[in-house]
Structure 1
Amino acid sequence: MAARWFRTARLIVGCMVLALVGAGPAVAQPTNGDAVNDRVPMPGSTPQWARPDLKAGRVSPGSQRRVLVALSLRNRAEAQQRAIEVSTPGSPRYRHFLTAEQFVDRFGPDQHTVDRVRTWLQEAGLHVEGVSANRHLVTATGRVEQLERAFGTGLARYRYGKDVLVAPESPVRIPADLRGEVSAVLGLDDSHRLIRSRLVRSPQQTTQGPEGSGGAEEDCAEYWAQHNNTAVPQKYPEGRQSNVLCGYTANQLRAIYGLGQEATGAGRTIGITGECTLATAESDTNRWSRRMGLPPLRPGQYREVLQPGAAADAPECRGSGWGVEQALDIQSVRAMAPDADIVYYGGAPESGSVFEALNTAIAQNETPVISNSWGEDEPEVPTDVRTQFADMVTQAANQGQSILFSSGDSGDNSGPSAFGFAAPDFPAESPMVTAVGGTSVGLDAQNRVEFTTGWENSADQLQDGQWAPIQSADGDFIGGAGGGVSPNYSMPIYQRGVVSTRYARGQRAVPDISALANNFTGMRIGFTQAPHGFVLEPVGGTSLASPLIAGLLADRMQVHGVQRMGFLNPWIYRSYRSPGLADVTHHDAGVWTSRMHLADRTLVTGSYLVDFDSKPQSLQSMPGWDPVTGVGTPTRTFVYGY
């Protein structure tokens, strides 16, 4: 197991400061001969996977790379304290939000700092592309030899599993007069290649064309237990075993959360971030809407803000798989809030551009809720990346933006297809975002909820007429909501008294709230996929849960006449055990399927029974806060009441 970064992020109300303190690697001299006296190293600027024993050679000096130089907030401690105060019910500053312009004037990097960074990069021969509206990111491109000169380190290739990734050989070195004013340099290493969407596709076959009958293979159930294969052993009582579902429709999803026709999210705007864009996203959503009985998108109701290289025809975007994620995010928001406007912020699959997309959403400040269905598939996220991320979400909280992150789909991440040890995902583990976990829901023919339990799936295979746990690299685990205890952040004050100190041991616990995620129930979405054309397919994962919560927030804001709710966690934990949140506990239930994906996404066929919330690793739902569903899942009262 590789060594982990241990750092703390303390959230304190009263003397409320979010301290971001980290241990960095030993100082190393640059390898390219640029050992000038006016340079200082940036601790925490090299990824832990870039070990000397894994080095596979140097990077071609003439190859091009794009980097993002992140600038630190001014008066960071004050900005972080204010972020908590405006987000905490009962605080004199509660919901006294700043505009983007007010935040930048008060806390953003000043123009003098931007000019000095621009001069430094240009003198090294780099082309400065631009500066973000909030002055947080300065983007530049150049040849590797120029980047090595600018940042005082060599770039090398390192073996990472089956891949080869680029990273600095030693800590980045910056001009001494910029110490404390540059928080990170994104794009020098290939950490961005480890960012994945949190979508889990159902193993069921897709249905082609506008006249397809459902969304999956013929033996799937349109609602819980509509079909149940009685030719296989019945492990669960009557009504608790079903064939795999075809994916819930928009109407069924609204029934799960008790939404009436008047809850539409009208007048509210939801932001979504991801990588690349699907060329047919809008037309696919309109085709899906017709199938779901929803009106088409109004002109201008959906729009895109794309970073350079994020276009659908960009070379690195072709076949990236992010298009299905985009379709899921848009359509799940529409299911919950069909009249809400949607803005998709797309980053390119390079240089941390998905962080750039999120920063754009925050800097523009047009979307009071931003759903993010992605995360790092690497536990050792460099400290500088965490620091610059904290600056971004601190701005969002001050502006009243709610930042949601999917908690992940690999359970506690202890399986070999994930981290190999128990730890939650980043950025979901950040105490300044709302981590959205996952549930499994059985909805009957009358649109009544039969049960809600956690999403932690295991699988049995039919052998000699009996069910036996499957044997794979991850044991019988085949997917579940991410959760657990962060080694990187201390327990925020809003979790105290709700999350068991015996469980969390004084650390940040994940997730905070939850919604439908189980891919064996899932949601039926529509998208264009070669060579089939337009298809309907059931999809799940916490990639579904996060935008569902976003849509419910739009409904709540509409119903209550509120424009922004801000950083949600202090309010969510104040709402613990209130009628607006249903406590999710374990229920025995399962589905039969003839097709199944293992935890590593390998498709297998046969006769399988998928057990819900069966604790295949260390996670399971339970009374009170739990590491699968957080404090619970929204009820009708979440939108209409309290």
Structure 2
Amino acid sequence: MRSHPVRRALITIGATALVVPFIASTGASASPGDRVALSGTTPSWATPAAVAGAPASSDQVSFTVSLPLRNAAGAEQLAAQVSDPKSASYQSYLTPAQFNTRFAPTDASVARVKSFLSGQGITVTKVADGNRWVSASGTVANVNKAFGTVLKTYSWQGRKLRAPSTAVSVPSSVAPDVAQVTGLDDSALLRKPLSASVPDNGGMPTAHAGKPSATPPPVGECSTYWGQHTQTVPKAYGKTEFPTYICGYSPAQLQGAYGVTDAIRAGQDGRGVTVAIIDAYGSPTMQSDANQYAANFGQPAFKSGQYSETLFQPFNLQDECQGEAAWNGEETLDVEAVHSLAPGAKIHYFGAQNCDTGIDDALNYVVQHHSADIVSNSYGNAGEELPAAEIQLEHSIFVQAAIEGMGMYFSSGDDGDDVTVGDTTKAEADYPASDSMVTAVGGTSLGIDKHNNYQFETGWGIDHDVINYATTPASYSSPVPGPFLYGAGGGTSYVFTQPAYQRGTVPGSLSKKNGKTPMRVVPDVGAIADPYTGFAIGQTVGGEFGLGSIGGTSLACPVFAGIQALASTGRHHSIGFANPLLYSLPSALYRDVTPPKSPIAVTTPTASSLNTFDHDSSLATARGYDNVTGRGSPRGLPFLLAERLL
């Protein structure tokens, strides 16, 4: 999602001594009329000054009532133990049935919640697997009465969004059975795919309009490897020749750069491992596109049974979620990136009904059915300005995934600290990447030479300076390097305290950036994300298959998930929640992404702009851990072997 300003103190109960890194609460507090208020059910953008009206009392509202896990603190403790290589319980995972027997809400609790809702004239539509929540719908009038609030419409960043105007409450008789109520506000509709493309690919940008004075150079070519082609631009950094951006790296190039070519040839190719990919909706040509793409680049197509799909249809909320077309490129990228890095792994694609509660349904389905060993998620919201109710719900799913030995991987974001692009008011990490029970994948700009060898990596952060040919001589529109365009998300959480695995690795200057209490810092690792050093994808659009180039941390996430599939090949147990293992590995197994000794920049084939690397809003690469690339990028075969042996 995007467009969420900072929310302070979403939830207020501290961690236990053992480490419950999420500042968790069931949100119960007494309210008048023998009711119990639920904290975190009103987003901070729902202010009196932003009220734009109210939905009609007869409008239908769909929502969920989530039920608390039994012994939630015990579940947090177990998740930490089974994921920690130093624990005697390491990799002693539970099956979904075992988890539910021990921690899931009871049938009796579900019955009480259903009875309460029905008594308010609200229709129960579904009970989620594992009794995790009850889905329901009712009129605005019935919802207002049932939950002791008034739904209103608010203006927020050019959109009209619904939200409760006061905290949601429930009768004390049912309060022990209710963890939170989600879906009454529209925050989740701001969830977005995290892919990015070159903004001036091919033509002259708007700033070039009008009668030119200077003559642009002849149109050149994009490069298939770093430095293959150059273009002439106004002088910057002491020179006038700069490489053109990458047309889109091939699978073989990424395999070579990340040092996994020999492992794949030797059979450590992800066989026996299943990677789930979750997005909203589903491209109808996903598998055929992936196979055609593989053929174009001399890579193996999917074997029979190697690719599968679960689509939660009918798809809905398309206007609110930017439509299927906006997600189809993301889905195609995710599938082709994982298959390119782990050609032997099974891929199971899950297409949610929408970008709202449909994502939660898909996440819960994957966990309740243990559908995969690794789950790649290339979506998120800008910042942590998600109601605490939604964060609590998703966090509990991630806890269950860890206990089952499933690794959840999330893109760290594409807008840096979110402030420069106007998404938030203060620098913060994005959720769900900031959750302490997921692996957040940050982004890099990657140089690969003509022999498919790793050449360099910087942090993905682009300053974009448009070249103005209306002057003589041509000039830059802003002082070089120009304004921030986009870059990897990262930063310090306001919601999650510092997990044990980050202690001793993350500098205090980052973990205590927001106060005296050390907090979770994002990301954990980094991989290729920069569209200017992007990845080639193949997709059918308008009935025709074509190749293009794309980037974003939604590239970094499936690339790293693919590498983790390689590391999981032949492992007796799945890696599971990877962070405790990733932070325990020696630093020599990572390429430490540090600031370049001299500026690195690219231009376009039309010489329309200069784009300088490693300038990521207020985030910065540094020696050791940093908030752009985490511990760094994986160092090929040594990295794979170290994870495989533990």
Q: TM-score, normalised by structure 1?
A: 0.88
Q: Give per-residue Cα distances to partners, 1:74-106, cap 9 Å, x unaligned.
A: 101111011101111111101111111100100
Structure 1 counterpart SS, 2:424: coil
| 2:510 partner amino acid | Y
Written as runs of structure 1 = structure 2, the 5 A alignment for 1:417-432 is 417-432=422-437
Q: Secondary structure at the match of 2:351?
A: strand
Give the equivalent residue in structure 2 for 1:602.
none
User: How do 1:608-623 and structure 2 match up within 5 A?
Assistant: 608-615=609-616, 617-623=617-623
Tell me by how many angstroms 1:183 deviates: 2.1
Of residues 518, 528, 540, the one that matches 2:551 is 540
Q: Could you tell me which amino acid in structure 1 is paired with residue 23 of structure 2?
A: L
Partners of 1:143 and 1:309 lie apart in 2 by 22
For the 8 Å contact 1:8–1:490, the answer to whether it is kept is: no
Matched, 1:163 2:159: yes
Distance 1:349 1:38 in 2: 36
| Deviation sequence 1:535-567 (CA, Å, 0-9, x none) | 211110100011111111111111x43441111
- CA offset at residue 135 of structure 1? 1.4
Find out whether 1:352 has 2:365 as its counterpart.
no
2:76 is equivalent to residue 80 of structure 1: yes
**Aligned residue runs from structure 1 range 387-426, under 5 A:** 387-426=392-431
Partner amino acid, structure 2, of 1:566:
G
Match of 2:7 in 1: 4
In the alignment, which of 375, 379, 382 is matched to residue 380 of structure 2?
375
2:320 and 2:622 map into 1 onto residues whose CA distance is: 46
State whether residues 125 and 136 of structure 2, in contact with CA within 8 Å, keep that contact through their aligned partners in structure 1.
yes
Displacement of 1:327 after TM fit? 0.5
Q: How does 1:8-23 map to 2 (within 5 A)?
A: 15-21=18-24
SS of the residue aligned with 1:342? strand
Partner of 2:244: 243
Q: Secondary structure at the match of 2:129?
A: coil
Distance 1:440 1:19, change over 3 A: closer
Q: Residue 568 of structure 1 aligns with which residue?
A: 578
Checking the alignment, whether the CA contact within 8 Å between 1:194 and 1:378 is kept in structure 2 is no
Matched with 1:141 is: 137
Who is 1:59 aligned against? 55
Runs of at least 5 residues in structure 1 that lack an aligned partner in the other structure: 30-36, 207-216, 596-605
- Offset at residue 19 of structure 1 (A): 5.0
Deviation at 1:510, TM superposition (A): 0.8
Q: Which residue is equivalent to 2:212?
A: none
- Classify the secondary structure of the residue corresponding to 1:418: coil
SS in 1 for 2:231: coil
Q: 1:498 is matched with which residue?
A: 505
Amino acid across the alignment from 1:422: A
Distance in 1 of aligned mates of 2:577 and 2:70:
21
Shift of 1:121: 1.9
Does the CA contact (< 8 Å) of 1:39 and 1:176 recur in 2?
A: yes
- Does 1:112 pair with 2:108? yes
Structure 2 CA distance, aligned partners of 1:509 and 1:50? 27
| Aligned mate of 1:43, from 31, 39, 46 | 39
Question: Which amino acid counterpart does residue 7 of structure 2 have in structure 1?
Answer: R
- Alignment match of 1:303 (pick from 298, 302, 308): 308
Higher mean C-alpha deviation, range 277-286 or range 538-547: 277-286
Deviation at 1:585, TM superposition (A): 1.1
Q: Any idea what the Cα deviations from partners look like across 1:264-298, whole Å, max 9, x if unmatched?
A: 21111001111111122122212212112123222
AA matched with 1:20 = I
User: Equivalent residues in 2 for 1:257-268 (5 A)?
Assistant: 257-259=258-260, 260=262, 261=265, 262-268=267-273
CA distance in 1, matches of 2:493, 2:320: 36
Q: Which residue of 1 aligns with 2:209?
A: none
- Whole-Å Cα distance in 1 between the matches of residues 93 and 612 of structure 2? 45
1:202 equivalent in structure 2:
198
Counterparts of 1:397-476 in structure 2, within 5 Å, are: 397-463=402-468, 465=473, 468=476, 470=478, 476=483
Which residue, 56, 67, 79 being the options, matches 1:71?
Answer: 67
Cα–Cα, structure 1 residues 378 and 508, in superposed 2: closer, same or farther, change >3 Å?
closer
Distance change >3 Å, CA 453–CA 10, structure 1 → 2: farther
Q: Which has the larger displacement, 127-136 or 325-334?
A: 127-136
Give the distance between the partners of 1:589 and 1:466, measured in 2 at CA.
Answer: 21
| Shift in alpha-carbon separation, 1:301–1:436, aligned structure 2, 3 A | same
SS in 1 for 2:138: strand
For the 8 Å contact 1:409–1:481, the answer to whether it is kept is yes
Q: Deviation string for 1:587-611 (max 9, x for gaps)?
A: 231111157xxxxxxxxxx621111
Return the alpha-carbon distance in structure 2 between the equivalents of residues 218 and 338 of structure 1: 34
Give 1:205 shift.
Answer: 5.1
Instruction: Give 3-state SS (helix, strand or coil) of 1:578's partner.
Output: helix
Aligned: 1:556 with 2:555: no
SS of equivalent residue, structure 1 residue 354: helix
Please name the residue that 1:600 is paired with: none
Relative to structure 1, is the Cα distance of residues 49 and 20 closer, same or farther in structure 2, using a 3 angstrom cutoff?
same
Structure 1 residues 625 and 350: CA distance shift in structure 2, 3 A: closer
Change (3 A) 1:339 1:311: farther
Can you list the C-alpha shifts for 1:522-547, whole angstroms capped at 9, x where unaligned? 110011223x7322111101000111
Residue identity in the other structure for 2:82: V
Contact 2:443 2:529 in 1 (8 A): yes
Q: 1:222 to 1:270 in 2, by over 3 A?
A: same
Instruction: Report the AA paired with residue 535 of structure 2.
Output: M
Cα 1:53–1:313, aligned 2, differ >3 Å: closer, same or farther? closer
Cross-structure match for 2:207:
none
Does 1:227 find its partner at 2:229?
Answer: yes
Instruction: Return closer, same or farther for 1:378/1:443 CA change in 2, 3 Å cut-off.
Output: closer
Q: 1:406 to 1:390 in 2, by over 3 A?
A: same
Question: CA-to-partner distance for each residue in 1:7-26, whole Å, 9 max, x for gaps?
Answer: 468667x7343453469799
Is 2:600 aligned against 1:589? Answer: yes
Residue identity opposite 1:502 in structure 2 = S
Distance in 1, matches of 2:5 and 2:453, equals 47
Structure 1 residues 576 and 507 mapped into 2: Cα distance closer, same or farther (>3 Å)? farther
Displacement of 1:236 in angstroms is 7.1
Structure 2 letter corresponding to 1:629? T
* Partner Cα distance (2:317, 2:426) in 1: 36
User: Match of 2:179, SS?
Assistant: strand
Q: Distance in 1 between matches of 2:18 and 2:137?
A: 41
1:528 aligns with 2:540: yes
Residue 18 and residue 499 in structure 1: after superposition, are their counterparts in 2 closer, same or farther (change >3 A)?
closer
Q: Which amino acid aligns with 1:15?
A: L
Give the drift of 1:253.
0.9
Distance 1:500 1:151 in 2: 44
Does residue 507 (structure 1) correspond to residue 519 (structure 2)? The answer is: yes
TM-score by length of 2: 0.88
Alpha-carbon distance in structure 2 between the residues aligned to 1:553 and 1:316: 30
1:463-496 CA distances to partner (integer Å, 9 max, x unpaired)? 5557646489x97101110111112222112111
| 2:5–2:424 contact (8 Å) kept in structure 1 | no
- The 2-side partners of 1:524 and 1:395 are apart by 35
Query: Does structure 1 conserve the Cα–Cα contact (< 8 Å) formed by 2:201 and 2:604?
Result: no
**1:210 is matched with which residue?**
none
Q: For residues 24 and 594 of structure 1, do their structure 2 counterparts lie closer, same or farther at Cα, with a shift above 3 Å needed?
A: farther
Flag the 1:469–1:71 CA change in 2: closer, same or farther, 3 A. Answer: farther
Stretches of structure 2 that go unaligned for 5 or more consecutive residues are: 203-218, 513-517
Deviation at residue 28 of structure 1 after TM alignment = 7.8
**Mapped partners of 2:232, 2:439: distance in 1:** 41
